[in-house]
Amino acid sequence: MHKMLHPKADVERLYIPRKDGGRGLIDVETAFKTATIGLDHYLKHKEGQYPKQVLEHERSKAKNSISKNATKFKREVTMPEIENREDKSASENAKALKHVFKSRMKSMKEEKWKNKALHGQYPKILEKPHVDTVTTNKWLSSNLKGETEGLLVAAQDQAINTRNYQKVICGQPVESKCRLCSQHEETVDHIVSGCEVLAKTEYISRHNNAAAYLHRSIGKDHDIEITDKWYEHEPETVIHNKDNNITIMWDMPVNTERTITANRPDIIVKDSVNSTCKLIDMTVPSDRNIALKETEKKMQVQRPRTRNTENVAYENRSDPCGCWCAWYSEEGYGRKHQESIRKS
Ligand SMILES: [Zn+2]
């Protein structure tokens, strides 16, 4: 794992599938145990002379026989009794058994990951109803360099060498407050989105870069000529498509009949053919305040929407996003809300 696994990052997470937030490696131990259990089941249920002879030979071994090992491995994960279906072949039944064993092993690993005080914070956030896990974990399948991925995963595991980590986890006699603002504990979360000193510079430039990327993608969707490299893209205040019916505005204030403070969405896409106008405002929140930021942004966009005097229909589309934080799932949140109404 040359520089691809941070020394303090979580090891359990290595063997959890990427779609579930892990790094998708195949665990050799699990693969061996699964194959042994499958083979044992196959030999016991396959008709014919040769499987019976192999089974007999295996049973005569004092230790490390397939069937003894299979029983031992099944006991480790407390496997439920799987019925051998007569309408299926021996290999199909063995496959079904292997599948059950593999998923038991996977859930044991997930449980172990979640139960860790430090590394377990991230998987617990993923379980919250407002988190869209599919979109949140998409970045793990985007072919990033191994070293970059390793560092981001370590940050999610809270295993970066911050002052709080040095004091609380390593027990070193150091000051745990942030070395920039000296106000709050220096944790990964604080550095990523909570420091007042960084807010004035780094957070603004991060926000502007992400919004510029979005601006460029929207422009490309409407066949507007735009720079090839996203990092060279500097959004112009107003751009139009060839037919002049789509206007994209960057950081433009919306005129309203009454004065409101948040009247400057990041991007406005005006479609004169369908008489629609999209107000896009984005934020790069930390995993912990994603739901709060979503509500905040929606309220901000709502105000110019309801107070606008222009005769166009507006579509509210605010999306808090970041390359490595949890993504908001409106559907999940709505579902949870409906459940709570039903209960009360
Ligand atoms: Zn700070």
Per-residue pLDDT of the chain (344 residues; tens, 9 = 90+): 677 888 889 999 999 999 999 999 999 999 999 999 999 999 988 888 998 999 889 888 888 889 899 989 988 888 877 777 888 888 899 999 999 999 999 999 999 999 998 899 899 988 888 888 888 899 999 889 999 999 999 999 988 899 999 998 889 999 999 999 999 999 998 999 889 999 999 999 999 999 999 999 999 999 888 888 888 899 999 999 888 899 999 988 877 766 666 778 889 999 988 888 888 888 888 777 777 777 777 776 655 555 443 433 444 444 443 334 445 555 555 554 455 455 44
CA–CA distance, 167 with 157 (Å, rounded to integer): 17
What pLDDT shows up at residue 151?
92
Q: How many CA atoms lie within 13 A of 258 on its CB side?
A: 6
| Residue pair 250/267 in contact by the 8 Å Cβ criterion | yes
CA–CA distance, 159 with 118 (Å, rounded to integer): 8
Q: Ligand 1 centre and the CA of 198: distance in Å?
A: 7
CA–CA distance, 67 with 55 (Å, rounded to integer): 8
Q: Ligand 1 centre and the CA of 31: distance in Å?
A: 45
Radius of gyration of the chain (CA): 27
Q: Ligand 1 centre and the CA of 179: distance in Å?
A: 7
- Overall residue count recorded for the chain in this entry: 344
What pLDDT shows up at residue 255?
75
How far, in Å, are 8, 45, 78, 106, 113 from residue 100 at the CA level? 31, 18, 11, 10, 20
Give which of 155, 202, 205 is closest to 180, Cα–Cα: 202
Q: How many CA atoms lie within 13 A of 29 on its CB side?
A: 7
Give which of 190, 139, 199, 159 is closest to 324, Cα–Cα: 139
**Which contacts (CB < 8 Å, 24+ apart) does range 75-82 have?**
76/33, 77/101, 77/104, 77/105, 77/108, 78/104, 79/104
Q: Ligand 1 centre and the CA of 200: distance in Å?
A: 11
Q: Ligand 1 centre and the CA of 190: distance in Å?
A: 6
What pLDDT shows up at residue 280?
87
Q: Ligand 1 centre and the CA of 256: distance in Å?
A: 37
Tell whether pTM > 0.85: no
What pLDDT shows up at residue 260?
67
Q: How many CA atoms lie within 13 A of 50 on its CB side?
A: 0
Q: Ligand 1 centre and the CA of 189: distance in Å?
A: 10
